Chain A
Amino acid sequence: NAGVTQTPKFRVLKTGQSMTLLCAQDMNHEYMYWYRQDPGMGLRLIHYSVGEGTTAKGEVPDGYNVSRLKKQNFLLGLESAAPSQTSVYFCASSYSISGTGVLEQYFGPGTRLTVT
């Protein structure tokens, strides 16, 4: 199992450019998430998905779009990048623990994005 993988690992964009970050998981997890991490702020949820074909907004969704066309993939898109979107982006997936109903999240290694 590769777990949760993210591509690319690093990217530099100019203001106004667009890009898509790819997250893939091979654990057959139903739930997937995109977070951003900024210095001193912990992780903040951008969008999430509770299953193939479904997406929902998180805490900081503005400027981002997502798609979950296949269960194993969750794409994060930036249509017109802004310097405020400079951050480290983490994808996560989760499953339900039998007997508790609680879901634990497993994280990818991150994508470091710089917007100039």
Chain B
Amino acid sequence: GQQLNQSPQSMFIQEGEDVSMNCTSSSIFNTWLWYKQDPGEGPVLLIALYKAGELTSNGRLTAQFGITRKDSFLNISASIPSDVGIYFCAGLNTGTASKLTFGTGTRLQVTL
């Protein structure tokens, strides 16, 4: 089955730094979602993007839906220790019972 490619796979950053990660696909999706997973927990939805080219913010998080509908990126500004976790992108096409295709994840670690 298809999985989305996320990069980087992992990153270590210092508190206060900005973070950028992206997600690419060989297929088109008409919705992109970004989730965060804390250790021992299920993924939690951070941002949903519904239109090609859309830029959406949620606090310190900003995500964009690529114009080709085959990619998306997530930025985190001024990182803090609680940003630690695994970030997953997911693509969705409506009319397919909302079946998500997940990326492989980006593991973020923040050092003081």
Contact = CB atoms under 8 A, between A and B. Distances in A.
B85 to A, nearest CB: 13
B94 A101 contact: yes
Interface in A20-74: 31, 33, 40-45, 48, 50, 56, 58-60
With most chain A CB atoms within 10 A of its CB, the pick from B4, B98, B103 is B98
Task: Say what secondary structure dominates the interface of chain A.
Answer: strand
A56 B50 CA distance: 26
Contacts of A56: 97
B94 A107 contact: no
A90 B102 CA distance: 13
A40 B9 CA distance: 9
Interface residues of A, number: 29
A100 B33 CA distance: 14
Contacts, number: 66
A59 B42 contact: no
B3 interface: yes
Nearest to A56: B97
Interface string B4-46: 1000000000000000000000000001010100001111110
Given A42-B103, A42-B105, A107-B43, 6 more contacts: A31-B98, A41-B3, A42-B88, A44-B1, A58-B99, A110-B40
